[in-house]
A and B are shown apart, each in its own frame.
Chain A
Amino acid sequence: MTRLHVQLAAAAALACLALAPFVLSPFSVTLMNYIGIYSLVAIGLALLTGVGGIVSFGQAAFVGIAAYATAWVSALNGQSPWLGLLFGVALTCGVAAILGVVTLRLQGHFLSLSTVAWGLAIGFLFGNVEGLGRFNGISSIPPISVGSLALVSSAQIYYLIWGIVALALLLGYNLLDSRLGRAMRALRGGNTLVESLGINAFRIKLVTFVIAAFLAALSGWLYAHMSRFISPGPFDASMGIEYLMMTMVGGAGSLLGGVVGAAIVTLLKNSVQDYLPLIAKGASGQLEIVAFSALFILFLQWARQGIVPSIARYLPKIRRERPEPAPPLPRRPQPAPGELLLKVDGAERRFGGLIAVNNVSFEVRSGEILAVIGPNGAGKSTMFNCLTGALRVSKGEIVFAGRSIVRDPQSRIAKAGVARTFQHVKLRPRMSLLENVTLGTYGRTSSGLFAGAFRLNRREEASARHEALLQLERVGLGDKPFELAGNLPLGNQRILEIARALAADPALLVLDEPAAGLRRQEKLRLAELLRSLRADHLTILIVEHDMEFVMSLVDRIVVLDFGSKLCEGVPSAIRSDERVQEAYLGGVA
Chain B
Amino acid sequence: MTSDIAAILAIDGIATGAVYALVAIGTVLIFTVTRVIFIPFGDIAAFTALTLAALDAKRFPGTGALVVALACLATLIEIISLVRSGELRLLPRALLFYLVLPLAVVGIAWLTMRIDPPLAVRLVLALMLITPIAPLLDRIVFRPIADGTVLLLLTVSVALHFALVGLGLLFFGPEGVRTEPLTSFSTEFAGVLISGQTMLIVLAALVFSGLLYLFFDFTLVGKSLRATAVNRTGSRLMGIRPARAGTIAYLLGSLMAGVSGILIAPVNTVFYDSGFLIGLKAFVGAIVGGMTSYPGAAIGAVGVGILESFASFQSSALKDVIVFSLLIPILIWRSLASLHSEEEIEE
A positions within 8 Å CB-CB of B: 53, 55, 57, 102-103, 105-110, 112-114, 116-118, 120-121, 124-125, 128, 188-192, 237-238, 241, 244-245, 248, 253, 283-284, 286-290, 292-294, 296-297, 300-301, 304, 426, 429-430
Contacts and interface: CB of A to CB of B under 8 A. Distances in A.
Given A287-B166, A293-B160, A293-B162, A117 B331 contact: yes
B317 interface: yes
B342 A191 contact: yes
A116 B324 CA distance: 9
Contacts of A112: 151, 154
Interface of B: 37, 141, 144-145, 148, 150-152, 154-156, 158-160, 162-163, 165-167, 169-170, 276, 280, 283-284, 287, 317-318, 320-321, 324-325, 327-328, 331-332, 334-335, 338, 340, 342-345, 347
A283 B154 contact: no
A118 B280 CA distance: 12
Contacts of A289: 162-163, 165-166
Contacts of A283: 170
A116 B280 contact: yes
B322 to A, nearest CB: 8
Interface centre among A125, A237, A297, by most B CB within 10 Å? A297
29 contacts: A106-B332, A106-B335, A108-B343, A109-B154, A110-B331, A113-B37, A114-B327, A114-B328, A117-B284, A120-B280, A188-B345, A190-B342, A190-B344, A238-B162, A245-B159, A248-B155, A284-B169, A286-B166, A287-B170, A288-B166, A289-B162, A290-B170, A293-B159, A294-B163, A297-B141, A297-B160, A300-B152, A300-B155, A301-B144
Nearest to B161: A293
Contacts of B331: 103, 106, 110, 113-114, 117
Contact of A290 (B152, B167, B327): B167
B328 A297 contact: no
A99 B280 CA distance: 20
A294 B327 CA distance: 29
A121 B145 contact: no
Nearest to A188: B345
Contacts of B317: 128
Q: Which secondary structure characterizes the binding site on chain A?
A: helix
Interface centre among A55, A112, A120, A125, by most B CB within 10 Å? A120
Contacts of A294: 163
Given A105-B335, A188-B344, A301-B144, A290 B150 contact: no
Contacts of B166: 286-290, 293
B324 A118 contact: yes
A286 B335 contact: no
A236 B324 CA distance: 14
Contacts of B318: 124-125, 128
A120 B283 CA distance: 14
B69 to A, nearest CB: 11
Given A289-B165, A300-B156, A121 B324 contact: yes
B56 to A, nearest CB: 24
Contacts of A286: 165-166, 169-170
A116 B317 CA distance: 19
Contacts of B150: 108-109
A101 to B, nearest CB: 11
A128 B321 contact: yes
Contacts of B154: 55, 109, 112-113
A188 B151 CA distance: 13
A245 B167 CA distance: 20
A401 B43 CA distance: 61
Nearest to B145: A301
Nearest to B167: A290
A107 B332 contact: no
Contacts, number: 133
Contacts of A102: 328, 332
Nearest to B276: A237
Given A287-B170, A290-B166, A293-B162, A109 B332 contact: no
A274 B340 CA distance: 48
Contacts of A114: 327-328, 331
Given A116-B280, A188-B345, A297 B287 contact: no
Given A121-B321, A290-B170, A297-B156, 12 more contacts: A55-B155, A57-B158, A105-B335, A112-B154, A113-B287, A118-B324, A125-B321, A188-B344, A248-B155, A290-B166, A300-B155, A301-B145
A241 B162 CA distance: 9
Contact of A110 (B159, B276, B335): B335
Contact of A120 (B148, B160, B320): B320
Nearest to A106: B335
Nearest to A120: B324
A248 B37 CA distance: 19
Contact of B158 (A241, A292, A426): A241
Nearest to A107: B335
A297 B163 contact: yes
A237 B160 CA distance: 14
Contacts of A192: 342
B314 to A, nearest CB: 13
Nearest to B323: A121
Given A188-B347, A238-B162, A430-B347, A124 B334 contact: no
A153 B334 CA distance: 51
A392 to B, nearest CB: 13
B145 A189 contact: no
Nearest to A237: B276
A388 B261 CA distance: 53
B332 A189 contact: no
B324 A124 contact: yes
A128 B163 CA distance: 26
Interface centre among A112, A113, A296, by most B CB within 10 Å? A113
A109 B155 CA distance: 10
B156 A118 contact: no
Contacts of B347: 188, 253, 429-430
B158 A110 contact: no
A287 B287 CA distance: 32
A300 B145 contact: yes
A120 B319 CA distance: 12
A290 B324 CA distance: 26
A251 to B, nearest CB: 12
Contacts of B141: 297, 301
Interface centre among A105, A109, A191, by most B CB within 10 Å? A109
Contacts of A118: 324-325, 328
A118 B198 CA distance: 31
Given A188-B344, A238-B162, A117 B169 contact: no
Contacts of B156: 297, 300-301
Contact of A109 (B37, B167, B327, B342): B37
Nearest to A283: B170
B78 to A, nearest CB: 15
Contacts of A292: 162
A128 B155 CA distance: 28
Contacts of B163: 289-290, 293-294, 297
Contacts of B276: 237
B332 to A, nearest CB: 6
Nearest to A253: B347
Contacts of B151: 55, 108-109, 112
Given A103-B328, A110-B334, A113-B287, A241 B159 contact: yes
A106 B338 CA distance: 10
